[in-house]
C-alpha cells in the first residue's frame, strides 16, 4: 500500500525468505508448509488485498471426520452438503439438539458483521459454547479438536470473539490451500514491490523513530519506521512497548509420505477421544496434488504444544494405526516441525487496536490484531493508512 502510494519502501527481513510464519519448503518433490495451516477464503481483508484467483485456492470439504473409539464419524456442514443432513444429524457426536444449535450459530454468524462480533462480550470459547447450550459431548467431540487445531489449544480458553469470527469465516467460505503451497500468499505480496525493495538476511538490532541499525551495524534513516515482526521481537526492539514476556501457543507438525491416501478426500480428521497426542490429520495431496510427487500422498499430522521429541514419531504412528490400520507402518517419515511460537495467545479482550505507535515507531502484526493471516493483514493495512493519513 505504501509503495503503491509512491513512498519508497525498504523491507528488512531477518531470515532467508519472505513469509514469516507462512513458509513452504520443497523437499524431495513434496511441498512442506512450516506447520499445518489453511487460508480461509472468506477473510475480508485478505480478499481485498490478495489476488485470490491467482492463488488458485483448493478447498477442503466443509466438515470433518471425527475419530472416536477407533470409529469414524462424519460431521458435515449440512447447509453446503445437504445430502449429509440425515447422516450428520444421527452421528453420535453431540445430540440432534446440538446440530440444531450449530444451525442457529451459523445463522447468527452470517447475520452479524465482523464489527458487531468484535464489539460483543468477550469470554472464553468454552464458556461461550456452554452458554449457547452445546452439550459437553459436542464440545469434547467436535469443538475441542476442530477449534483446538485452529487455536492450538483444546481447553478453548481463546477469546469467544475470535471463535465467532472464525466460525463466521467457515460459514461463509472454505478452508483452502493455494495450489502451490501456503507460501504463494507472501510471494504474491512480495512480487508487488519494486526490485530491491526487500533485503533478505538482514536482521535488525535496534530502531528509533527515524532510523534502524542492522545486526551488521549498518544504520539506515527513514521518515517512518514500521516494526512488523512477531510480538516478542517487537517488545524487545521497540522502546516504550510493555516488556512483559508474550505468551505463545505451540504446535508440532509431522509429515509422512504414504503410498496411498488414508482418507481419500480433502477433509480434516480429528481426534474426538480425550487421550492421545494427535489432534488432527489431513492428506494435503488430496487437497492439492502439487503437495506430493506422483504416486505418493502427503500426510500432515498436528500435535498441539511442544511435546518431548523423543519417541514422538512412534507414539504418533501407534495412535494412527488405530485410525488407519496397518498401512501406517508403510509410511515414510519426512520431517517434524516444532514451532514453539506459532500463535500469540488470544485471551478474551486481550487484543489492541490493530496497530500501535510507540515513541514514533509504528508496530503491526498479528499480535496487534488477531492471531491469523487475516489479523496480520488487517494490522498492516491499519499502519499503512495511518502513515498515509499523515503519520
Ligand X SMILES: Cc1cc2nc3c(=O)[nH]c(=O)nc-3n(C[C@H](O)[C@H](O)[C@H](O)COP(=O)(O)OP(=O)(O)OC[C@H]3O[C@@H](n4cnc5c(N)ncnc54)[C@H](O)[C@@H]3O)c2cc1C
**Helices 144-151 & 160-172, crossing angle to 10 degrees?**
100
Residues 101-130 that bind ligand X (CB under 6 A): none
Determine, following the binding rule CB under 6 A, whether residue 233 of this chain makes contact with ligand X. yes
Q: Of residues 230, 273, 306, 313, which one binds ligand X by CB under 6 A?
A: 230
* Residue with Cβ nearer ligand X (184 or 373): 373
> What three-state secondary structure class fits 120?
coil
Separation between Cα atoms, residue 207 and residue 100, nearest integer Å: 53
Q: Of residues 3, 9, 14, 179, which one binds ligand X by CB under 6 A?
A: 14
57-59 sheet: strands from edge to edge: 39-40, 175-178, 57-59
Going from the C-alpha of 47 to that of each of 6, 29, 69, 89, 343, the distances in angstroms are: 23, 30, 40, 33, 22
Stretch that binds ligand X, among 134-142, 278-286, 289-297, 339-347 (CB under 6 A): 339-347
Angle at the Cα of 56 from the Cα atoms of 54 and 60, rounded to 5 degrees: 150
* Residue with Cβ nearer ligand X (14 or 47): 14
Tell the smallest beta-carbon distance from residue 305 to ligand X (Å). Answer: 12
> What three-state secondary structure class fits 43?
coil
* Residue with Cβ nearer ligand X (160 or 202): 202
Q: Of residues 372, 378, 383, 387, which one binds ligand X by CB under 6 A?
A: 372
Separation between Cα atoms, residue 114 and residue 170, nearest integer Å: 13
Determine, following the binding rule CB under 6 A, whether residue 32 of this chain makes contact with ligand X. no
Tell the smallest beta-carbon distance from residue 92 to ligand X (Å). Answer: 28
The answer to whether 270 touches 280, Cβ cutoff 8 Å, is yes
Could you tell me the sign of the dihedral formed by the alpha carbons of 125, 129, 131, 136, in that order? negative
Q: Of residues 62, 178, 354, 365, which one binds ligand X by CB under 6 A?
A: 365
Tell the smallest beta-carbon distance from residue 308 to ligand X (Å). Answer: 19
User: Site size for ligand X, by CB under 6 A?
Assistant: 28
Determine, following the binding rule CB under 6 A, whether residue 15 of this chain makes contact with ligand X. yes
Residues engaged in binding ligand X (CB under 6 A): 12-15, 20-22, 35, 37-38, 203-204, 228-230, 233, 251, 339, 342-343, 365-366, 371-376
Amino acid at each position: 500500500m505504501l509503495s503503491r502510494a509512491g513512498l519508497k519502501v525498504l523491507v528488512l527481513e531477518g531470515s532467508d525468505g519472505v513469509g514469516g510464519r507462512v513458509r513452504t519448503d520443497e523437499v524431495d518433490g513434496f511441498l512442506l508448509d512450516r506447520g499445518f495451516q489453511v487460508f480461509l477464503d472468506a477473510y475480508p481483508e485478505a480478499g481485498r488485498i490478495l489476488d485470490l484467483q491467482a492463488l488458485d485456492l483448493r478447498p477442503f470439504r466443509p466438515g470433518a471426520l471425527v475419530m472416536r473409539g477407533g470409529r469414524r464419524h462424519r460431521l458435515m456442514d449440512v447447509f453446503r452438503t445437504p445430502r449429509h443432513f440425515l447422516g450428520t444429524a444421527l452421528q453420535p457426536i453431540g445430540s440432534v439438539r446440538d446440530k440444531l444449535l450449530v444451525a442457529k450459530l451459523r445463522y447468527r454468524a452470517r447475520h452479524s458483521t465482523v464489527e458487531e462480533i468484535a464489539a460483543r462480550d468477550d469470554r472464553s470459547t468454552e464458556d461461550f459454547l456452554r452458554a449457547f447450550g452445546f452439550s459437553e459431548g459436542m464440545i469434547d467431540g467436535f469443538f475441542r479438536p476442530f477449534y483446538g487445531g485452529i487455536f492450538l489449544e483444546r481447553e478453548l480458553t481463546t477469546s469467544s470473539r475470535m471463535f465467532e469470527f472464525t466460525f463466521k469465516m467457515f460459514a461463509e467460505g472454505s478452508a483452502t490451500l493455494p495450489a502451490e503451497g501456503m507460501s504463494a500468499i507472501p510471494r504474491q505480496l512480495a512480487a508487488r514491490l519494486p526490485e530491491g525493495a526487500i533485503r533478505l538476511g538482514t536482521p535488525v538490532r535496534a530502531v528509533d523513530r527515524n532510523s534502524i541499525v542492522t545486526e551488521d551495524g549498518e544504520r539506515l534513516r527513514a521518515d517512518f519506521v514500521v516494526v512488523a515482526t512477531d510480538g516478542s521481537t517487537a517488545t524487545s526492539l521497540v522502546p516504550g512497548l510493555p516488556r512483559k514476556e508474550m505468551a505463545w501457543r505451540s504446535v508440532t507438525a509431522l509429515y509422512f509420505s504414504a503410498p496411498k491416501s488414508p482418507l481419500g478426500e480433502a477433509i480434516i480428521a480429528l481426534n474426538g477421544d480425550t487421550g492421545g497426542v494427535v489432534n488432527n490429520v489431513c492428506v494435503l495431496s488430496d487437497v492439492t496434488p502439487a503437495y506430493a510427487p506422483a504416486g505418493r500422498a502427503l500426510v500432515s499430522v498436528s500435535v498441539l504444544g511442544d511435546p518431548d521429541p523423543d519417541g514422538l514419531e512412534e507414539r504418533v504412528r501407534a495412535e494412527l494405526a488405530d485410525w488407519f490400520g496397518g498401512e501406517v507402518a508403510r509410511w515414510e517419515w519426512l520431517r517434524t516441525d516444532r514451532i514453539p511460537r506459532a500463535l500469540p495467545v488470544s485471551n478474551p479482550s486481550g487484543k489492541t487496536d490493530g496497530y500501535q505507535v510507540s515513541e514514533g515507531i509504528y508496530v503491526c502484526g498479528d499480535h496487534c490484531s488477531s492471531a491469523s493471516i487475516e489479523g496480520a493483514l488487517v494490522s498492516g493495512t491499519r499502519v499503512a493508512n495511518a502513515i498515509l493519513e499523515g503519520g
